Amino acid sequence: MTHRTFAALAVLLLSTICAPPLLAQRGRGAVEDAEVRPAPRWPDGRIRLDAPPGETGIWYGPGGAVPGLADWDNNPNPHPFPGRPKVSEVPFQPWARALIDYRDVNQFEPHARCKPSGGIRQFVTPYGNEIVEMRELERVYIFDVGGPHSFRVIYMDGREHPEDLTPSYYGHSIGHWEGDTLVVDTVGFNEKFWIDRRVTVHTRQLRFIERFTRTNYETIEYVVTVDDPGAYTEPWTSGVYLRFEPDLEMFEYICQEQNQAADLMVGTEVESFFGSSPIVP
Amino acid sequence: MSTRSIDNMRWGGYHRLGAVLGLGGWLLVAPLAAHHAIVAKFNPDEPVALNGTITKVDWANPHVHVLMDVQGAGGIANWAIELESPVDLDAGGWSPDAVRLGERITVEGIAARDGSLQAWAYSMTRTDSGAAVFDIPDPVPPSAPALSGPAPRWPDGQPRLGPPPGESGYWGNPTASVLVEDGVDVAANSDGRLLNLDDAPRVAPLQPWALALYEFRQREFLSSDPAFLRCIPPGGPRQFQLPYGIQFVEQRDRERIFVLVGSGNRNWYFIYTDGRDKVGRVEGDDDNPLYYGRSVARWEDDTLVVDTRGFNEDFWITNGGLPHTDRLHLIQRISRPDFNTLEYEVTIDDPGAYTRTWTASWTLEWIAGEEMPVYFCQDNRP
């Protein structure tokens, strides 16, 4: 799906299917504007993505009923973000389409074995996130709580992606601000995780463009373009709402504590080379 | 490389040399060991030499494996050869493409204790040419003098625990990988294994049960380490003793410090500097014991004094397996006497496991201009 068709579809959806809940959530009406705080800003006017000083709060993505960047065709209550495609509208290559059908039956997701999972998967995980811009360091950190309890780094210092990138779970992210929108460009993903809850297939060729727009205090419009010629016939775009829950803080969550698939996490004797020294560090 | 002992296998990179410097009062016999508990799985007294062809390269943390078919008396057997981590091999200039399937290689190493077809490689060479593959060069001193000068400071004069604006770096190369009370001399390797088990009572003021457990863990080659078994996090002082570093991200206007732990699972946790009591998170989880504990801190002149409680008992606070209980209370004093040096001092107050409070200290080195290597213990399997 091109940007243009995405925009057209967005308008169509906006005006028909999900207009009432959408408008309420987006706070675009005069009544809502009076009730919802504006997004916090730094002294120079730039949008701030975490809680301002003296306050706390964390971001939650959509719940587990949202599989990720596309909705199942038979879902009667798709996530109300404008322009989200149904699975049948995603330009999958045949193997990728077959893979998500398999995943839907066999939900053997690496995330459940504590694997770090980049992209939107950070936001469709329980217990929330923080998005912290350290302006002096010229980087944005996105911390996850559930799952790997790790973090990704977005470089804001104008650097480019390195050429000899080692594929990784979170990839290599560079970002910049376009008005009130943080635009993040990520490449260099490995293929050892699912980038959402099973409907977005990716390969090492993935380029993942995220646009974070904090439209008010409690909402981020999170729009993603998936550009992966290894899995799709053309780039496509979708999005979700992230919801800010004030007065909460992130806490310790260690997936490994009670992981019942430790054998699958650090090795077993099932094959000769399982049982590797699953050693610290 | 075949002549090296297991303890000389190391993390790779010249900066590991720092491990032999600046020791305060006790001896680290073999400071460059990379790996906790390789000897838990492999027996240094059982050397093996193998010739065969490569069938697979498994490039995953914590350790890379090369599978090879070996012709033996009973037919072809498929051996799993274990190597350093991808982080270290990558730093040594290697990639999984350095060899091809079907290539003939020769391996010298040590065999698994359990008799399975596994070996830890001291060396791997191409059989045809004799050229080494996946070795890590000997450490070389840095060609340029390290950065020096005073610690960077915030505009209000407080020392920075991270880089000054426009720079990057992290803390690594701990001068100690074993937790021993200050002033005590014992010989241990960097896994934390004592060379002489009779030294165990001197390492720290252990209560009898804790001493017995410590000795048991030592005798068993540290193989009951939950980090070894299940990638359980390196909470407490241990995170400051591991090779892949520590970062402090000071978010001053929110009065909190993110601690990024480079080893283990690349976790993060908070040190709060907002004057709060250690009451847990806002929803209240006071009674939920944690791996990293609950930390609050304040600055005493140029020293960050971090007070941590609320630990569970499901992890090891040290490489060598010194026990602790959920009564553990740490006072960690962190300072940056110059640009390059982080001083770490920990006072261990655990009336459940020790007869008195005791203190250990060491330093870490600023690794300028680099990011912490991306390492996840749980990377190994699908």
Q: To the nearest 5 percent, what fractions of chain B are helix, strand and coil?
A: 15, 35, 50
At residue A250, does pLDDT exceed 80?
Answer: yes
Residues B262 and B372: their CA atoms lie apart, in Å, by 6
Name the residue with tokens 């770096």.
Answer: B169
Which residues of chain B make contact with A166, given a CB cutoff of 8 A? 86, 90, 374
What confidence tier does B87 reach under pLDDT thresholds 50, 70, 90? Answer: confident
- The per-residue pLDDT for range B299-357, each reduced to its tens digit, is 999 999 999 999 999 999 999 999 999 999 999 999 999 999 999 999 999 999 999 99
Cβ contact B249:A134 at 8 Å: yes
Compute and round to an integer the Cα radius of gyration of chain A.
19
Among residues B49, B54, B192, B191, the alpha carbon closest in space to that of B122 is found at B49
Show the tokens assigned to A87. 């699975």
Query: Under a CB-based contact definition with an 8 Å cutoff, are residues A25 and A35 in contact?
Result: no
Omega before A76 within 30 of 0, i.e. cis = no
Distance CA(B245)–CA(B372), nearest Å, equals 6
Which residue from A84, A86, A83, A88 is spatially nearest to A8, judged by alpha carbons?
A83
Give helix then strand counts, H and E, for chain A. 5, 9
What CA–CA distance (Å, rounded) separates A113 from A193? 10
- Mean pLDDT for B107-124 is 90
Residues of A in contact with B265 (CB under 8 A): 114, 148-150, 254, 256
Average model confidence (pLDDT) across chain B: 85
**Cβ contact (<8 Å) for B62 and A277?**
yes
Task: Please determine, for residue A1, whether its predicted confidence score (pLDDT) is greater than 60.
Answer: no
> In whole angstroms, what is the distance from residue B160 CA to residue B344 CA?
15
B336 in reach of chain A (CB within 8 A): no
A21-35, A85-99, A255-269, B281-295 — which is least confidently predicted? A21-35
Contact across the interface for B234 and A116, Cβ inside 8 Å: no
Quick one: which of B124, B119, B130, B54 has its CA closest to B92?
A: B124
Q: Which residues pair with B122 in a beta bridge?
A: none
* A10, pLDDT greater than 70: no
Q: How distant is the Cα of A265 from the closest Cα of chain B, in angstroms?
A: 5
3-state secondary structure of B148: coil
Contact between chains at B262 and A281 (C-beta distance less than 8 A): yes
Q: Under a CB-based contact definition with an 8 Å cutoff, are residues A174 and A185 in contact?
A: yes
The burial class, CB within 10 Å (0-12 / 13-18 / 19+), for B39 is buried
Global pTM value: 0.83
Supply φ then ψ for residue A181, to 5 degrees: -115, 125
User: For the residues of A180-245, what is the DSSP string, one character each?
Assistant: TEEEEEEE-B-SSS-SSSSS----TT-EEEEEEEEEETTEEEEEEEEE-TTTBSS-EEEEEEEEEE
Torsion angle (degrees, nearest 10) of CA B117, B118, B121, B125: 40
pLDDT band per the 50, 70, 90 thresholds, residue A31:
very low
Are A256 and B382 within 8 A, CB to CB?
A: no
Helix (H) / strand (E) containing A15: helix A3-15
Nearest to A272 among B80, B232, B374 (CB): B80
Residues of B in contact with A279 (CB under 8 A): 35-38, 62-63, 227-228, 377
Q: What is the pLDDT at residue B223?
A: 86
Q: Of B209, B211, B297, B225, which Cα lies nearest the Cα of B264?
A: B225
CA distances from B359 to A26, B183, B346 (A): 55, 9, 6
Which structure tokens are listed for B181? 């009370």
- Nearest chain A alpha carbon to B232: A256
Distance from CA of B283 to the nearest CA of A (A): 7
Selected residue of B66, B239, B278, B381 to mutate for chain A interface (largest A Cβ count, 10 A): B381
H or E element, residue B360: strand B358-368
Of A141, A151, A247, Cβ closest to residue B282:
A247
Instruction: Report pLDDT for B28.
Output: 34
Question: Nearest C-alpha of chain B: how many angstroms from A193?
Answer: 8
Task: Test B381 with A113 for CB contact under 8 angstroms.
Answer: yes
Residue of A nearest to B55 (CA): A273
From B230, B254, B283, residue closest to A256, measured CB to CB = B230
ipTM over 0.90: no
Distance between CA A118 and CA A210 in Å, rounded?
12
Residues 232-291 (B) with a CB less than 8 A from some CB of A: 232-234, 238, 242-244, 249, 251, 253-255, 258, 260, 262-270, 280-283, 285, 290-291
Average pLDDT of the residues in B35-64: 84
Pairing of β B329-338 and β B303-309: antiparallel
Residue type, B15: H
- Test B162 with A259 for CB contact under 8 angstroms: no
Residue written as tokens 């740490």?
B330
Q: Which positions in chain B touch A265 (Cβ < 8 Å)?
A: 230-231, 378, 380-381
Most confident of A35-39, A177-181, B97-101, B241-245: A177-181
Q: Which residues of A touch B227 (CB under 8 A)?
A: 279-280
List chain A residues with CB under 8 Å of B118: 272-273, 275
Lookup: tokens for A73? 């065709």
Show the tokens assigned to A266.
């650090």
The share of chain B scoring above pLDDT 90, in percent, equals 62
Q: Best of A250, A252, A257, A274 to disrupt the B interface by mutation (most B CBs within 10 Å)?
A: A252
Taking Cα atoms as reference points, which of B317, B313, B314, B296 lies closest to residue B305? B296
The pairing of strands B75-82 and B65-72 is antiparallel
- Chain A partners within 8 Å of B38 (Cβ): 277, 279
Amino acid B279 reads: V
From chain A residues 85-144, the ones with a CB under 8 A of any chain B CB are 110, 113-116, 132, 134, 136-138, 141, 143
**Residue written as token pair 């169509």:** A12
What is the pLDDT confidence band of residue A266, given thresholds at 50, 70 and 90?
low
Say which residue, B361 or B264, is predicted with more confidence.
Answer: B361
Q: Identify the DSSP state of B354.
A: B
Round the CA-based radius of gyration of chain B to a whole number and report it. 22
User: Which residues of chain B neighbour A259 with C-beta distances below 8 Å?
Assistant: 230
What is B24-45 written as a DSSP string? Answer: -SSEEEETT---TTHHHHEEEE
Asked if A256 lies within 8 A of B376 by C-beta distance, the reply is no
The 10 Å CB-count burial string (b at 16+, else e) for A91-102 is ebbeebbeebee
Q: Does residue A5 surpass a pLDDT of 50?
A: no
Q: How confident is the model at residue B6 (pLDDT cuts 50, 70, 90)?
A: very low
CB-based contact (8 Å) between A280 and chain B?
A: yes
Nearest CA in chain A to B249: A134
Please name every residue paired with B90 in a beta bridge, in sequence order, or none if there are none.
Answer: none
Q: Is residue A281 very low, low, confident or very high in pLDDT (cuts 50, 70, 90)?
A: very low
Q: What is the SS3 assignment for A3?
A: helix
Does residue B44 sit at the A interface (CB-CB below 8 Å)? Answer: no
Give the C-alpha distances (Å, rounded to integers) separating B51 from A112, B9, B119, B340: 39, 22, 13, 46
What single-letter DSSP state applies at residue B99? S
The answer to whether the CB atoms of A266 and B230 lie below 8 A apart is yes
Alpha-carbon distance A21 to B237, whole Å? Answer: 50
> What are the pLDDT digits (tens) for B133-181?
998 766 555 544 556 799 999 999 999 999 999 899 999 999 998 999 9
| Predicted local confidence at residue A34, as pLDDT | 60
Q: Residues B194-217: what's their mean pLDDT?
A: 97
Asked if A251 has any chain B CB less than 8 Å from its own CB, the reply is: yes
DSSP string covering A91-130:
-B-HHHHHHHHHHHH----GGGGT----GGGGTSSTT-EE
**pLDDT > 70? residue A187:** yes
Reply yes or no on whether the pLDDT at A49 is more than 70: yes
Q: Do B292 and A252 touch (CB under 8 A)?
A: yes
Put simply, the chain A residues between 36 and 95 with a CB less than 8 A from any chain B CB are: 50-51, 53, 56
Closest alpha carbon within chain B to A172? B374
Check A280 against B263: CB less than 8 A apart. Answer: yes
Q: Which residue has the higher pLDDT, B195 or A32?
A: B195
Q: Do B266 and A265 touch (CB under 8 A)?
A: no
Confidence (pLDDT) at A8? 45
Cα separation, A77 vs B117, whole angstroms: 54
Residues in A closer than 8 angstroms to B42, CB to CB, are: 277
**Quick one: closest CA in A to B292, which residue?**
A252
Nearest chain A residue (CA) to B310: A252
Contact in structure between B232 and B226 (CB atoms under 8 Å): yes
Chain B CB contacts of A115 below 8 Å: 376, 378-379
Q: Tens of pLDDT along B98-111?
A: 999 999 999 999 99
Instruction: Read off the pLDDT of each residue in B250-265 and give the average, rounded to a whole number.
Output: 96
**Separation between Cα atoms, residue B142 and residue B146, nearest integer Å:** 8
Do residues B13 and B1 lie in contact, with contact meaning Cβ atoms separated by under 8 Å? no
**Rounded-to-integer distance, Cα B150 and Cα B144, Å:** 18
